[in-house]
Amino acid sequence: MGVAAVVSLSALGEGMASGMEEVFTSPDADLMVAQKDAMMVLFSKVDESISADLERIPGVVEVTGTVVNIVQMDTVPYFIVTGEDTRGFGMAHYRIVAGGPILQRKQILIGRLAAESFDKDVGEAFRLEGETYRVAGIYETGTSFEDGGAVMSLSDAQRLFDQRYQVSYFNLRVNDKTRIDAIRNEIEDRWPKLAATRSGEQTRQTEMLGMYRSFGFYMGIFAVLVGGLGMMNSTLMSVFERTREIGVLRAIGWRRRRVIVMILGESVIVALLGGVVGIGVGYGLTEAIKLSPAVSSMLTGAYTIDIFVRALSLSIGLGILSGLYPAWRASKLLPAEAMRAATNLPASTSSMELISRILSNSSLRNLWRRPTRTFVTLISIGLGVGFTFALMGMTSGMESMFTNYMSSGDSDLIVEEKDAADASLSVISERTANNIRAHPEVKSVSRIVWGITTAPGMPFFMVNGLDPRESKINDYNVREGRTLQRSGEVILGRLAANSLKKDLGNKMRIAGARFTIVGIYENGVSFEDTGAAISLRDAQDLFDKQGEVSFLGVALHDQKRAVDVANLLEQQFADVMVGTTSTFTEKMQDFKTMESMMNAMSGLTMLVGGIVMMNAMLMSVFERTQEIGLLRAVGWKRKRVVGMIMIEGLALSLFSGIAGVGIGIGLNSLLGLIPLYGSFFNPIYEGPIFVQIGVLVLVLGVVGSIYPAWKAASLKPIEALRYE
């Protein structure tokens, strides 16, 4: 199951990365021109008017503009919509399998997966962002991201996403492939804010997608570690069961080295077979996701040789590591003592003495009869629980940081674009902001443009655009210099200033624009102190949001009316989502996605941890077969035997949960040591997290003990007493 987790999560990460890569690159184009400092093409915005200038460059034969955006649908949280020039060469990429091409306004092509997911056919109506389109055709490209989305005309997409006279990027064709580099250099010289790249060339987007590719692998490693410790447990039990056998082998001349090789060999064979089975299970899990059309476009696995090699290598490596201690333990057995060892009951103990000893053993004391096994089981389950606990604390911390940032000052409500798939994609028109400001119950409104770009040594650089005349600017505690006053100025967070080695009066470039540092602030929150603030107009120019903002912070005359006013504003303005500062993150898609990830990790922990615990409890039942038979012989009913094993399992699970909490806190403390971004991982451990972990631990105990308890209760007294 650990290897299956690595294979499945890695394949999903690879599928997501390769899918996004294919969406944002055209195999038919020689060059792609996009905003230079955009972290991903999805966030790029380019003035459409330069298309004519690009076509006049010697060697360029065709230029087509494309708009790409993500829409949140009821059943599909990330629905990709592409706007293409219907007469451009980009349309050839979409192979129509039903219906025909786009011939007029308000027509749309939908992918095969989208048609299945939404149960739509040619000629039917399809609603996007409150607009109704007619399905002209159904296409197929072979890329799940595209086949799970839709294509419309460029002009319709510009209207839908309020990007008039803008495109996300241009695709260019040239007539002489040898001149591609010369054309690229000319473009970047003429337009310093643009970047021209070949298809498949390394960009910042490639770095971002690389994170998707590695994310699944590192998430799966914890599942493999849990499984590896479980395998060590099994190998240890094998050594305990074969103590006499190993003693005989030593007595007839086997050297310690040979015993070590035997135990290690068994462990490696089990690991190899487990790895092969895990690859099959992982493949099956990934393919099973395709049965859900709603998520199949975003979570379709892509397999590479690297995924299988890494998974199998990890399995074999852990097989070797998990066999080292048991092999060393076996090699240290002295022949004479090993041959005298009893596999079950001591021969010198009378039946009455034995019954008295067994009855005096509590469930907790039974756990420590094999302290090594109990310790290994406790740590293996604790790792899974700890990883889940760490993620929960991290998510809670991020929610708290965002809430504190948005609610700082006098804001009582937060306003975001309705159905925004991501906070960075939220767009609210200033007209809406002015209308909300005019509401009789609203005291003031702060407009915020929120964007992410890059800076030297900082792959994630958060920039806030604020109006110096609005109250939000007062939340920035400027320790050196002064606050913003005019265009072209920037105030830097303390952590960002230290990382960039910048001081007051220095110049710095943000997304290609030049700014003067007039202040350094320190709010004590990494979310803010690793970023910067510039004027609202500068941010709108920087992120191409003229006349638009990302969020609104709304202060009310009467704070007690916050919930009622939020509902009124949502009814009055259908294109926005309004919530109180304390509960707004519950509505955001970003945090809903995180919550889904937490649930998936809890399920994985329950599955792998339950198997490990079941293994340990089964070993406990097998080695106590005669004891259980004796208890049954003296009158213990099956129900009482089941209760004894279940209590042991629940106790072991409880101790594992306590260890897991400690491991989780330790993991987050280690993440906190990462320079600059460590403070982002500022976990918060609240009551509900401990309740969820408690429930997880309880379920683990029950699931891991049910079968061993049934097995113990099913033992027949006479057969159990004869067991060797």
Give the pLDDT score at 131: 86
Give the pLDDT score at 359: 46
Alpha-carbon gap, residue 45 to 543, rounded angstroms:
7
Q: Is residue 691 part of a domain?
A: no
Strands 458-466 and 478-481: unpaired
Give the pLDDT score at 223: 65
Section 326-344 average pLDDT: 70
- Between 201-210, 321-330, 347-356, 491-500, the lowest mean confidence (pLDDT) is in 347-356
On average, the pLDDT of the chain sits at 80
Q: How many CB atoms lie within 10 A of CB 5?
A: 28
Sequence-distant (≥ 6) Cβ neighbours of residue 356 within 8 angstroms: none
Whether pLDDT at 17 is above 80: no
Report how far apart the first and last C-alpha atoms of the chain are (Å, whole number): 32
CA distances from 693 to 221, 391, 399, 596 (A): 20, 12, 19, 16
Q: Is residue 527 part of a domain?
A: yes
Q: Residues 437, 567: one domain? A: yes
Q: Is residue 438 part of a domain?
A: yes
Q: Residues 319, 455: one domain? A: no
- Amino acid making up residue 447: R
Q: Residues 109, 246: one domain? A: no
Whether pLDDT at 22 is above 80: no
Give the pLDDT score at 215: 65
Alpha-carbon gap, residue 555 to 535, rounded angstroms:
21
Give the pLDDT score at 152: 94
Section 460-472 average pLDDT: 86
Q: Residues 106, 216: one domain? A: no
489: pLDDT confidence band, cut at 50, 70 and 90? very high
Q: What is the pLDDT of residues 591-626, one digit of tens each?
A: 766 677 667 767 777 777 777 788 778 877 877 777
Alpha-carbon gap, residue 637 to 619, rounded angstroms:
21
- Between 110-114, 369-373, 606-610, the lowest mean confidence (pLDDT) is in 369-373
pTM value is 0.65
Strands 107-111 and 131-140: parallel
Q: What are phi and psi of 684, to 5 degrees?
A: -130, 125
344: pLDDT confidence band, cut at 50, 70 and 90? very low
Pair 22, 143: CB distance under 8 Å? yes
Alpha-carbon gap, residue 37 to 453, rounded angstroms:
6
Give the pLDDT score at 80: 86
Whether pLDDT at 518 is above 90: yes
Q: What is the pLDDT of residues 115-143, one digit of tens each?
A: 888 889 999 999 887 789 999 999 998 87
Alpha-carbon gap, residue 521 to 475, rounded angstroms:
10
Give the pLDDT score at 69: 85
Whether pLDDT at 467 is above 60: yes
21: pLDDT confidence band, cut at 50, 70 and 90? low
Q: What is the pLDDT of residues 145-184, one digit of tens each?
A: 788 889 999 999 998 887 888 898 999 989 888 888 899 8
Q: Residues 121, 270: one domain? A: no
Of 2-11, 251-260, 318-327, 371-380, give the range with the top mean pLDDT: 251-260
H or E stretch at 489: strand 489-493
Better-scored residue on pLDDT, 585 or 274: 274
Give the pLDDT score at 681: 65
Give the pLDDT score at 203: 52
Proportion of the chain in helix, strand, coil states, percent, rounded to 5: 55, 20, 25
Whether pLDDT at 538 is above 80: yes
Q: Is residue 82 part of a domain?
A: yes
Tokens of 549: 């903002």
Q: How many helices (H) and strands (E) does the chain have?
A: 25, 24
Instruction: Give the single-character DSSP code of 14.
Output: H
Pair 117, 76: CB distance under 8 Å? yes
Alpha-carbon gap, residue 218 to 225, rounded angstroms:
11
Q: Is residue 658 part of a domain?
A: no
Q: Residues 300, 218: one domain? A: yes
Pair 652, 616: CB distance under 8 Å? yes
Q: How many CB atoms lie within 10 A of CB 624?
A: 23
Give the pLDDT score at 345: 44
Alpha-carbon gap, residue 164 to 167, rounded angstroms:
8
Give 695: exposed, middle or buried? Use CB within 10 Å, 0-12, 13-18, 19+: exposed
DSSP for 201-227?
A: ---HHHHHHHHHHHHHHHHHHHHHHHH
Alpha-carbon gap, residue 705 to 699, rounded angstroms:
10
Of 332-341, 606-615, 714-723, give the range with the top mean pLDDT: 606-615
Residue 99: name the closest of 112, 86, 87, 80 by CA. Answer: 112
Tokens of 354: 């034995």
Last residue of a domain, one of 144, 165, 199: 199
Strands 507-510 and 489-493: unpaired
Of 14-18, 20-24, 177-181, 624-628, give the range with the top mean pLDDT: 177-181
Q: What is the pLDDT of residues 71-108, one digit of tens each?
A: 877 767 678 899 999 888 888 888 999 999 999 889 99
Strands 532-535 and 413-417: unpaired
Of 123-127, 309-313, 473-477, 578-582, give the range with the top mean pLDDT: 123-127
- 578: three-class secondary structure by DSSP: strand
517 forms beta bridges with: 490
- Between 48-62, 455-469, 472-486, the lowest mean confidence (pLDDT) is in 455-469
Whether pLDDT at 296 is above 60: no
Pair 230, 293: CB distance under 8 Å? no
Q: Residues 34, 14: one domain? A: no
Last residue of a domain, one of 199, 231, 264: 199
Last residue of a domain, one of 564, 580, 596: 580
Alpha-carbon gap, residue 425 to 449, rounded angstroms:
11
% of the chain beyond a pLDDT of 70: 80
Q: Residues 173, 265: one domain? A: no
Give the pLDDT score at 139: 93
Whether pLDDT at 503 is above 70: yes
Q: Residues 53, 76: one domain? A: yes
Total structural domains within the chain: 3
Q: What is the pLDDT of residues 387-402, one digit of tens each?
A: 888 888 888 887 777 7
Whether pLDDT at 495 is above 50: yes
Pair 64, 86: CB distance under 8 Å? no
Tokens of 155: 């002009």
Alpha-carbon gap, residue 682 to 672, rounded angstroms:
7
Q: Residues 30, 155: one domain? A: yes
Sequence-distant (≥ 6) Cβ neighbours of residue 245 within 8 angstroms: none
Q: Is residue 680 part of a domain?
A: no
Domain hosting 420: range is 412-580
Strands 532-535 and 458-466: parallel
Whether pLDDT at 19 is above 70: no
Q: Residues 118, 188: one domain? A: yes
Pair 213, 13: CB distance under 8 Å? yes
Q: Residues 165, 262: one domain? A: no
Tokens of 411: 């804001």
Q: What is the pLDDT of residues 407-441, one digit of tens each?
A: 666 788 888 888 776 666 788 888 999 999 999 99
- Between 16-30, 286-300, 464-478, 558-572, the lowest mean confidence (pLDDT) is in 286-300
- Amino acid making up residue 366: N
